[in-house]
Amino acid sequence: MNHLIMMSAGEASGDQHAANMFLEIQAQNSAIQAIGMGAKKMREAGVKIAYDSSAIGVIGVVEILRHYRDIKKAMKIMKALIINKRPDLLICIDYKEFNLRLAQFAKREGVKVLFYVSPQVWASRPKRVVTYGQAIDKMAVIFPFETAYYEAENIPVAYVGHPSVDKVKPLHTKAEAIKLFGLHSEIPIIGLLPGSRTNEIKRMLPVMLNAVIQIQKKFPQAKFLLPQADSVSDALLHSFLKNNEVKVIKNQPYDAMQCCDAVMTTSGTATLEVALLNIPMVIVYKLSSLTYLLARYLVNIKSIGLPNIIVGTPIIKELIQHHATADNMSAEIIKILKDDVYRQEMQAALKQVRVKLGKGEGSKNMARIVLEMLA
């Protein structure tokens, strides 16, 4: 039987998750078609894109206000799709606030809703569980500890595995990758992961580059790699890297990461990817002043780094807001490089991240749930 599903993804990670999911769905039932909001990856997977979300993948109060007109336009288009196309199922992928409102609208229109990637109710506003429960038919979570929050309110929920467990697979061995990128294993290699959003890069990359200068004073031979996210333009990176000895790697993020002895990474999914590769790191983040003040008021967890949250203890140093300075970042990277015991203890703790996340297969599990809901 032919089915039409509608997918809504607003950020680069959601675009990738949705694309992987749809490829798995099509592998099991090629008659299922998909329309919706997304970007390059979803389009390549065969989803008919009604609104390209590349311009609205932003985070923070100030940034969202700046893109309000585009976000409002996207919502109008998606609501019109629901009314005119009457999809058999709406799948909301992350992009929490936008997708909650879209889910509420779809529910009122009698369309089934599957939400993939729960809001972080364990970090702030746990009562949102009830709000989401009223707008959806099922929640698919990517951390095993999240199911309890929904089960407590009798909301259908399934742990499907974290997408990164399947995704983080280098194409080469470490030795092959080091040779491929023209590096040498006896020289320190440091990774820079400034984020996948434009505003993150503008905020974090200059600080990281200042940290590079500090690290070079201690390790003059050190090499620096920056795996370029698909959502980041060449022009944006080059505007910062004109006179800097940082090697940009395209299309091979995990091969680049595994070469590194240490990594400076913006908080987010990238921290989990580095952890799954067992690379020591420092987690850094800066928000606009207004967003940071609101976050301090709303967030009730001690750690923001996913490896620390998953393991349940601060195994990785976090440098947030005014602590995210070049001096602090370089000092932590230098400590990782020089202190063998410190580095080895961190790597031993990072192994627990993979253990706690399980075997993965998130896209396959999502495809199974989608087919069950369509049936």
pLDDT digit string, tens, across residues 17-70: 999 999 999 999 999 999 999 999 999 999 999 999 987 765 555 556 666 788
Q: Residue 229 above 90 pLDDT?
A: no
pLDDT digit string, tens, across residues 157-184: 999 998 889 889 999 999 999 999 999 9
Under 8 Å between Cβ of 28 and 112? no
Under 8 Å between Cβ of 108 and 83? no
Q: What is the mean pLDDT of residues 128-154?
A: 93
Q: What is the mean pLDDT of residues 209-219?
A: 96
pLDDT at 245: 82
What domains are there in the chain, each with its CATH number? 3-161+360-374 (3.40.50.2000), 174-357 (3.40.50.2000)
Distance (Å, rounded) from C-alpha 324 to C-alpha 335? 16
pLDDT at 277: 97
pLDDT at 123: 57
pLDDT digit string, tens, across residues 243-262: 678 999 999 999 999 999 99
Amino acid of residue 82: I
Task: Enter the DSSP assignment of 252.
Answer: -
pLDDT at 226: 96
| Alpha helices by DSSP H, the chain | 12-28, 40-45, 61-66, 68-85, 96-108, 128-135, 147-151, 163-167, 174-180, 198-218, 234-241, 253-259, 269-276, 289-298, 306-311, 326-338, 340-357, 362-374
Nearest partner of 141 among 116, 121, 163, judged by Cα: 116
**Residue 83 structure tokens:** 């009314």
Distance of CA 190 to the CA centre of its chain: 21
Lowest mean pLDDT among 116-130, 310-324, 344-358: 116-130
Q: Would you say the C-alpha torsion 305, 307, 311, 313 has a positive or negative sign? A: negative
Residues facing 38 on adjacent strands:
52
Average pLDDT, the chain: 90
Lowest mean pLDDT among 55-64, 116-125, 198-207: 55-64
Under 8 Å between Cβ of 136 and 115? yes
**Residue 171 structure tokens:** 């194409």
Q: Residue 297 above 70 pLDDT?
A: no
- Residue 2 CB neighbours (<10 A): 8
Distance (Å, rounded) from C-alpha 32 to C-alpha 48? 12
Q: Residue 321 above 90 pLDDT?
A: no
CB proximity list for 42: less than 8 A, separation 6 or greater? 7, 9, 15, 18, 19, 22, 34, 36, 49
Q: What is the mean pLDDT of residues 321-330?
A: 93
* Radius of gyration of the chain measured on its C-alpha atoms: 21
Residues facing 284 on adjacent strands:
266, 319
**Global pTM value:** 0.77
Distance (Å, rounded) from C-alpha 24 to C-alpha 45? 10
